[in-house]
Amino acid sequence: MRSYWKGPYFNTNLLNSIFAKRDKTIKQSKQLTFYTRDRSSTILEALNNNIVALYNGKKYFHIKMRPEYVGYKLGELVYTKKTAVFKKKRNKKKKNFKK
């Protein structure tokens, strides 16, 4: 838990790119996509209704930011580990032995 007086952590490079892209495309009403590997940043209101591509160590996942996500960390939205998939057991056919 980060102390209250420090405020939320956010990568300044990502924040600068958000405002730079927003200023360039302010007349266009399309969603902006931001690529980042920083999973420890807190989601701010500046990201609402934009798409963030989060890197999980293998590939980028595109996530549309919603107002419900504000205050969470970016890393909470994308899993980094595979889910285990187990093989299904086959029923062995019983052989009929004659006695």
Instruction: Give domain limits for the chain.
Output: 12-77
Is beta strand 33-36 parallel, antiparallel or unpaired with respect to 51-55?
parallel
Tens digits of per-residue pLDDT, 7-29? 888 888 888 888 888 777 766 66
Separation of alpha carbons 56 and 18, rounded Å: 21
Tens digits of per-residue pLDDT, 43-56? 988 888 889 999 99
Tens digits of per-residue pLDDT, 74-92? 999 998 888 888 888 777 6
* pLDDT of the residue at 61: 93
| Global confidence as pTM | 0.70
Report domain 12-77's class: alpha beta
